[in-house]
Structure 1
């Protein structure tokens, strides 16, 4: 008894039953791609810290190596010679402030890229979660019917051995069983691949089974859809890809401003001490210097930065057009699958259940023929898989529309 309880506990530990809300939380906390992307945000913050730092002062010193008059090496004492110079570079045209704004905008873009990745992974998680839920629901229903058919075949095998039924009838039953079992195995293989994706997304080695919490809607029900143009307008505001493109354009504009400011050379200022090499001993003075912008006024980089602005604007327009088309396509797919689902009827699964109940019993009692039984049995099992696949496809279409708009519009 203890061994059985231990084995049951181990099996329970190998399975993770999780609601969609819990899965979303685990995705943020565990997904390795998101964790790696968060490092990019932290690195961008580090670049801001670095850009805010002032340039280090430069120290220059020169010491007498050999005094031929005194015939003394390293004569840098009270009667010797040494020079000490300290210089600092100052950016006087606002380059430092503009550079800081650029890396701040880069961090903002990195955050939007993180949100984009999170949305992509969330969409993939939801799509796989609901498909596992519906396909597993279909398999459970079919396996119960296959168990009944298996028992019937065992009974008929015994009757065939006694000569009470024909080989044709027994073979037909076995063919139906193997055909439906192959269909179930194909669906089970799809489930295994879906399980692999869920395990990777949530960084968990256990088998993950959807267990919707109370109040979680596993199948969105909506009487009417929102207006397409309104959804497209929302997408142009909500989508992080738009924010990323806008941030990139802002960076190009700031870079253009910086390149124009770079035409003004940096100022170098400092102080110098010369012990015995100047017109007076112990000479002290101040120094200042800058490059004369005679030939190089940063013309090439300014032009390149201006072209980058035009390119960024075109990329933003392209991104906007792509998102508008994505919303329209997702909208049309939802309408198509919704129409197919409504034409099938929400009671279709209940009707299939009514069909299956007593099917084996009626056949064993001779109330229906072998042909009717096999046709109805195959119709039930094929119908239950296709119907749940349709619900999974429609659910995925809802998720795709939410993804395209950038917010949950149907849940």
Structure 2
């Protein structure tokens, strides 16, 4: 009976080895409605279709329209009056009396030019907000792309182990029913299988969430399943981060970060607004021309006039003070953003160097060697050279090591994307 038991388990594990080889070549989710694309193709589709980008562009058009408004001169005022009734008609019927008045407002102290400057700076701000928004979305897109890929690689491991243990559990139950193996071995396999299924389900939830966000970014059908095409050897064995000096990264960030540009234009906007508020304290004036056909002074009276307010009380003091405060506040905000930029580059540069150093310690042949080794473990367990606990422990170690390698690869790629993001420059885009 013992020989039969060993032979049955050996046959079962032999089938599992064949299943292990075939499972490693298959995707965990076989669907006909898939979209295979590279990260470059994903970016092209994102720039073309993303609704958030399309909507954000309208802010630039809206700000540009404000320049047109700022350039317009005030409209002239025209007034006409005609007589209807009068008790004294010595000069003729009332309807013969009519008068005209024409006036034009003239702004002083360069208010119009300052409003034009504000509107132009507003366009710059809208552009910088748009490109900073685009920078953030592209970072999310590329992170999601690589996250989907490496999580799918991890799901392959779960899928392969779950399929293998499911077949092993079925075989063990048959052998237990025949009295060839103990019940504890069946329960141990069953417990391991349930644990894997729970972990696999959690991983699939994460993949589905990332897939959903990614599909929104490139604006594709919810029914489509994204299959990222990635060359895992693109960074393999290469020194990437250290090829770009730290100061070059920092200088590029100072020049190309749109949130920093926005902070600088905010200072310029508030400074121009302070000048405008001071100019508003200077009164504008109106010039007028009026005609009265049957005026009290004489017939066909033509006169001119000027009108302006006297700034005895309201000299726009409150708005000027608010504008000064806004200038000081925006300068503090600018200094804070500059400090944040330097901190972002420093922190992410150090992290990227550590991940690159860690990744280079891994042997490129690790996966292939480990796959071969686990097949040998199957055979040794079938021959009873190792115990069930040793077999499952090695099985779990295989899963843990492959998952760790996938996470390290993902973290390394993500760290490079993070450096691109914090510098505002695609130093490491592939």
- Shorter-chain TM-score category? 0.7 to 0.9
User: 2:282 matched to 1:261?
Assistant: no
CA drift at 1:231: 1.9
Q: What is residue 32 of structure 1 aligned with on the other side?
A: 51
Q: How does 1:71-90 map to 2 (within 5 A)?
A: 75-76=94-95, 80-90=96-106
CA drift at 1:196: 2.1
Q: What is residue 375 of structure 1 aligned with on the other side?
A: 393
Q: What is residue 180 of structure 1 aligned with on the other side?
A: 196
CA drift at 1:304: 3.1
User: 2:410 matched to 1:398?
Assistant: no
CA contact (8 A) 2:239 2:356 kept: no
Give the one of 14, 23, 32 matched to 1:12.
32
CA drift at 1:68: 1.6
CA drift at 1:216: 10
CA drift at 1:394: 2.2
Note closer, same or farther for the CA distance 1:222–1:339 as it changes in structure 2 (3 Å cut): closer
Q: How does 1:93-104 map to 2 (within 5 A)?
A: 93-104=109-120
Note closer, same or farther for the CA distance 1:113–1:223 as it changes in structure 2 (3 Å cut): closer
Note closer, same or farther for the CA distance 1:333–1:210 as it changes in structure 2 (3 Å cut): farther
User: 2:165 matched to 1:149?
Assistant: yes
Q: What is residue 6 of structure 1 aligned with on the other side?
A: none
- In structure 2, the residue corresponding to 1:12 is in which secondary structure? coil
Q: What is residue 310 of structure 1 aligned with on the other side?
A: 328
- In structure 1, the residue corresponding to 2:88 is in which secondary structure? coil
Q: What is residue 79 of structure 2 aligned with on the other side?
A: 60
Q: How does 1:117-196 map to 2 (within 5 A)?
A: 117-196=133-212
CA contact (8 A) 1:48 1:104 kept: yes
Find the aligned partners of 2:140 and 2:378 in 1 and give their Cα distance. 40
- In structure 2, the residue corresponding to 1:67 is in which secondary structure? coil
Structure 1 residues 47-95: Cα deviation after superposition (integer angstroms, max 9, x where no partner) = 1111111111111222223222359xx933xxx2122111111224321
User: 2:371 matched to 1:353?
Assistant: yes
Where in structure 2 are there 5+ consecutive unaligned residues? 1-30
User: 2:129 matched to 1:113?
Assistant: yes
Note closer, same or farther for the CA distance 1:142–1:27 as it changes in structure 2 (3 Å cut): same
TM-score by length of 2: 0.84
Find the aligned partners of 2:42 and 2:204 in 1 and give their Cα distance. 22
Note closer, same or farther for the CA distance 1:218–1:288 as it changes in structure 2 (3 Å cut): farther
Find the aligned partners of 2:391 and 2:39 in 1 and give their Cα distance. 40
Find the aligned partners of 1:133 and 1:220 in 2 and give their Cα distance. 20
Structure 1 residues 337-382: Cα deviation after superposition (integer angstroms, max 9, x where no partner) = 3333333444433333233334434433445432321111111112
Where in structure 1 are there 5+ consecutive unaligned residues? 1-10
TM-score by length of 1: 0.87
Give the one of 241, 246, 265 matched to 1:247.
265
Find the aligned partners of 1:181 and 1:352 in 2 and give their Cα distance. 22
Q: How does 1:260-279 map to 2 (within 5 A)?
A: 260-279=278-297
User: 2:226 matched to 1:209?
Assistant: yes
The farther-off stretch of 241-250 and 296-305 is 296-305
CA contact (8 A) 1:130 1:210 kept: no
Find the aligned partners of 1:352 and 1:32 in 2 and give their Cα distance. 45
Find the aligned partners of 1:178 and 1:213 in 2 and give their Cα distance. 31
Find the aligned partners of 1:244 and 1:223 in 2 and give their Cα distance. 30
